[in-house]
Structure 1
């Protein structure tokens, strides 16, 4: 299956919408509004101006020759999403979804966050647009990301530590979904990655694909040719999908995603759901999940907070043609490639 095998709410056998009846109307409303905005040049112009004057786009690319000395002499070029306002790629998607929230006429937004980057971006956009904001964050993550918690609260967001389950990102998503069911009339869920029920995987991908569109143009201008490979870490998948999407029609470009290997993919303690997961339903969509014998999403180990989800994005799990050990000394002992 390729990433382009998209048919309505599905990517091959993955995707779909597995949600309570109370959320169907809200998701239909969001889908319909997004389809309208895709054909609306005024929306595209407003978002582009926000990215130019607020996000700081286009983000630059930086060649790192000293690092390349340790990688066999290849030219290595970084796409600097860390230089965006709020410090990550998350703002690309959040600004788009915040504009959709205003168009729908809702006054409150909720979000989940792991490392805090999506939470900070959502709190920032909510402050910009005058929206009430609640961010759900696993209690474990609030302790190890205290600075980002302080930033969210400084921006006016309410941060709710989640004390159920593993007290990490998976559980934060669950509690955010419960909030949405309860407050669906006034609230829009700003989902942070290419996961969840339709239309979130496609919607987030479309707001993040600006990363790859810029990178493709910038690399061609710098080097005169396309890159041999494009790589990205894969937690939820939004940054990977954001940069990969522009290269899908370039078969000569290898697309390589690195997952968190934890204690090793032959143990139960890893986040390599694409390499080692099995099909299942999680967070409202069919995806590739790490599961225990009880068929519940399994716990994670010492991966970074944004990697501690239990499933991969519906748009990515069936995509890799191979998964092989890497030679890199890193906490990601598996890779998946096109």
Structure 2
């Protein structure tokens, strides 16, 4: 990818849907060292203070501190090549793995590319849900696999559970890997990458053997996109969302509400959902644009579309 003899340290961030990866990545962009390249799956979800943005071309956001944030989109290798071929080399690369992906599969790229040096694999776990996710027959294997070769876990949203719940979350993670390094975090108290090195033992990273068979996440999960002109009727939203099947694990995007100015950022994890105003610099689509991820037995898109169509305001196009 590049002819430089210097190696660039790489951090891979993983974690299941809704664990808080986007919030953590945004935190790193705001507090990280200069010349950091951050590669993310959901570029539109990264909310950075507008005063930090030097330029924004839709696929790459350049910050005033020298960092960039690139959308991985459909071509991870192409995006990585773009970063490595930058005229002024980056000092660090941070990569956010998909919420249903194996962060180690991305980390292995840093092991085989001579210009990269794998520094750490960080996986976030939602303290309020991790016990249930590990035991969930639908997603448990995927969730457990994300912790198999990480070197630190951020037990996130720890402020949302009581002492007993936090202890149960820790016990569930340690049952997967005794001795696993766990750091309790929350939205208001996230670490920097440098602070993760304090007290950390050196990890002996290695790539899997060439004949290792990667887990087929495409077969285990399905995605769904919902796009409509117009707006939702606020009074109808709760009923429509309650009718969505449990196989739908995550739904996010932007929408407009009838009679209300501006767009809203929509987030749903399991049955919990929220509508919040976008950040001043966050791009939002006109109308309604939502993207969902579910298990392999997620109902067909037409069925899901019909459920959300119930929440459309009168006169909205479907």
TM-score (norm 1): 0.32
- Greater Rg by CA: 2
Normalized per residue, the structure richer in strand is 2
Normalized per residue, the structure richer in helix is 1
TM-score (norm 2): 0.34
